[in-house]
Structure 1
Amino acid sequence: MSVIALRNATKRFPGAGGRPHTAVRDLTFTVDAGEFVAVVGPTGCGKSTTLSLVSGLEPPSSGEVDVDGVPVRGIPDGVGYMFQTDAVLPWRSVLDNVAAGPRYRGAGRAEARRRAAVWVERVGLAAFDRYYPHQLSGGMRKRVALAQTLVNEPRILLMDEPFSALDVQTRALMQDELLRLWQGTGAAVVFVTHDLEEAIALADRVVVMTSSPATVKGIFDVPLPRPRRVEEIRLTPAFIDTYREIWQSLREEVERAREEASRRAA
């Protein structure tokens, strides 16, 4: 049984003039335990809405969204969510930022800090555990955010363009770091990105969404072995062939979204 299953899931929001705006429609795909699925599509097509449906932050207007075979009626247990902007608290040190999750879940202060210290070390920040967010680089803050998410040992990891604000070199390092820390955890990952190269380098499958209102246009397997180093894997013929195949599908939707935006602007 799949950990995550969307079946004809549709989400509508109130729109201008009282007419509903359909963000996503008839979404259907699954994610298994230990599987890394990336979601790509044109800007504003509803990729983040998909994560909101899985996380329980938004209920579907119609269709079904299940986690572990149970319809999502609230935030399911075992879900970790990493946003585009990090959620580090400026008045807390690195260690105490990472310890906050276990504390909220009922762990005592000493136990929470012990668990946090393990993850601070795993993300390479043991020497900076007493630093505050304003003393850290952008990449280091992302490492804190990653530790904040993984310290709770989520069964489902939802990631909404978490590395998009980073420079190219730091982004590649964080992609490798994510793969290293995720490998072997058994967590199901849904990773939203605008970057097709990032999607292919990380994922087992890539879901291509149509222009708004988004639905699933195609699902592509990524035939690249694990473990991976993203900068090395991008140079292989298999990566290039996979990119070419998926881009042919994605390009049509990007062009359609651009034409629609131009039409509205006119």
Structure 2
Amino acid sequence: MRDVSKSFSTPQGGNHDVLRDINFSVAPGEFTAVVGPTGCGKSTTLSMICGTDQPDSGEVLIGGRPVDGIGDQVGFVFQADAVFPWKTVIGNIATGPRFRGMPRKEALAEAADWVRRVGLAGFERYHPHQLSGGMRKRVALAQTMINRPRVLLMDEPFAGLDVQTRQIMSDELLSLWELTRPSVVFITHDLEEAISLADRVVVMTAGPATVKQEFRIDLPRPRNTREIRHTPEFVKLHERIWEALRDEVQVAYRRSVTAA
């Protein structure tokens, strides 16, 4: 993202600046987590990377080419379940390959492999309403990863899960990411989650958002996201990043109290 700015019209007829001169890049195969106060424009950033929205100024590029619409290089995992309720587990996972023209038999065979990878063997014929929240999230991950996206966008994908399931899903995410190594942009409000997953953490300011600071996460891989949180290196990183994030959270909070 190069000098990206974005505003939206308000009900009063004015403009609300969401992003202002955003600059950051994600290297091939890099896992980048983005943190910032609620409402600072993190999700808007993802919408421009995936091509569902366009910046007012600046440019967004993937592989050196401007993003001018939804392309097949990008996968998106949302906070809410985005699986098809009328399809089975294997049918959901096979949707992408089928949409891209793969013969049904081949698509189902590849989907069966991904069912196994996400630990859902035996649940192939179940429908989403028959699964737990964590199991549905595994379906969503497999549904996205089977397409081998060059860029993987994740908007608080584990926010609706309990703490134990979140940790399990974090480890599973890292295992799946290692298979194809897409570039990841991971939005979260959980600073511990960001540090335990990422190669780099980007801190955004209270809106209109810009990049305040970036932190390199020099923790060894492969990682166990629960165990690594107890290491001295993790604690030091958490203190440094929280120091940068805390002021922005307080600014956003004061604004919300004033507006109320």
Global fold match (TM > 0.5): yes
Q: Deviations over 1:55-103 (max 9, x none)?
A: 0110110011111101111123311000001111111110001011111
Amino acid at match of 2:196: A
CA distance in 2, matches of 1:122, 1:177: 9
Alignment of 1:123 with 2:118, yes or no, is yes
Q: Does 1:232 align with 2:227?
A: yes
Structure 1 residues 241 and 38: alpha-carbon distance in aligned structure 2, compared to 1, 3 A threshold: same
Q: Aligned AA for 2:210? A: T
One-letter amino acid of the structure 2 residue matched with residue 40 of structure 1: V
The gaps in structure 1 that reach 5 residues or longer are: 1-5
Q: Give the secondary structure class of the aligned counterpart of 1:38.
A: strand
Query: Which of 190, 197, 200 is the equivalent residue of 2:195?
Result: 200
Sequence identity of aligned pairs in percent? 60
Residue 125 of structure 2 corresponds to residue 100 of structure 1: no
Q: Which runs of 5+ in 2 are unaligned?
A: none
1:156 aligns with: 151
* Cross-structure match for 1:187: 182
Q: Structure 1: how far apart are the matches of 2:223 and 2:96?
A: 29
Secondary structure at the counterpart of residue 183 of structure 1? helix
Question: Matches of 2:149 and 2:109 in 1, distance apart?
Answer: 18
Matched with 1:42 is 37
Deviation of 1:142 (Å): 0.4
CA shift for structure 1 position 45? 0.6
- Which 10-residue stretch deviates more, 73-82 or 224-233? 73-82
Q: Is the 8 A contact 1:26 1:63 kept in 2?
A: yes
Local SS of the residue matching 1:29: coil
TM alignment of 1:3-82, pairs within 5 A? 6-82=1-77
Which amino acid is 1:253 matched to? E
Partners of 1:34 and 1:184 within 8 A in 2: no
Partners in 1 of 2:219 and 2:165 — Cα distance?
A: 22
CA distance in 2, matches of 1:108, 1:183: 27
Deviation (angstroms), 1:26: 0.6
CA distance in structure 2 between the aligned counterparts of 1:86 and 1:32, rounded to whole angstroms: 28
Mapping 1:159-178, distance limit 5 Å? 159-178=154-173
1:112 corresponds to 2:104? no
User: Runs of at least 4 residues of structure 1 off by over 3 A?
Assistant: none
Provide the rounded CA distance (Å) in 2 between the counterparts of 1:240 and 1:210: 22
Q: State the Cα distance separating 1:16 from its structure 2 match.
A: 2.5
Compute the TM-score of the two structures, normalised by the length of structure 1: 0.96
Q: Tell me what 1:83 maps to.
A: 78
Calculate the aligned-residue CA RMSD, in Å.
0.8
Q: Are the aligned partners of 1:56 and 1:74 in contact in 2 as well (CA < 8 Å)?
A: yes
Give 1:15 shift. Answer: 1.4
- Which residue number in structure 1 is paired with residue 240 of structure 2? 245
In 2: Cα distance, 1:111 partner to 1:261 partner: 52
Deviation at 1:184?
4.4
- Secondary structure in 2 matching 1:37: strand
Deviations 1:96-141 (CA, angstroms, capped at 9, x unpaired): 0101111111111111111111111100001111111111011000
Please say if residues 211 and 253 of structure 1, whose CA atoms lie closer than 8 Å, have aligned partners that are also in contact. Answer: yes
Q: How does 1:208-223 map to 2 (within 5 A)?
A: 208-223=203-218
Q: Distance in 1 between matches of 2:93 and 2:181?
A: 21
Return the letter of the residue paired with 1:196: L
**Residue 134 of structure 2 aligns to which amino acid in structure 1?**
G
Matched residues in 2 for 1:62 and 1:235: separation?
Answer: 43
- AA aligned to 2:190 is D
CA–CA distance in structure 2, aligned partners of residues 87 and 49 of structure 1: 18
